[in-house]
Amino acid sequence: MQGVIKSYDPGTKDGVVMSERNFTEYELSPNALDGSIFRMLRQGQRVIFELDESGMATNLRLGSEVDMGTPDFLQ
């Protein structure tokens, strides 16, 4: 799935990614960045992700090459 980072706290590594397809929000798995090129995330950043067994976003990878910014409905 591809989505947009809605929120991310680098201290706690808690965050939410929103699916671009249906705007469903998924919490980030505690290990979402393990093995990824990401060390932190920013609001509005596009990512590709998978869902783990508990329905949390994991295995984050680069999304679109262009950061489209924060969608209007997040503000």
Q: pLDDT-derived band of residue 2, with 50, 70 and 90 as boundaries?
A: very high
At 13, the amino acid letter reads K
**Residue 36 pLDDT class (50, 70, 90 cuts):** confident
pTM to 2 decimal places = 0.78
Beta strands 25-27; 14-19: pairing state: antiparallel
With H, G, I as helix, E, B as strand and everything else as coil, classify residue 61: strand
Element (H, E) at 6: strand 2-9
Rounded CA separation 2/61 (Å): 9
Q: What is the pLDDT of residue 67?
A: 47
Query: Rounded mean pLDDT of 31-40?
Result: 82
| Burial of 21 (C-beta count, 10 Å sphere; 0-12/13-18/19+) | exposed
- Least confident window among 2-11, 49-58, 60-69: 60-69
63: pLDDT confidence band, cut at 50, 70 and 90?
confident
Please report the domains of the chain, with CATH numbers, ordered by start residue. Answer: 2-66 (2.40.50.140)
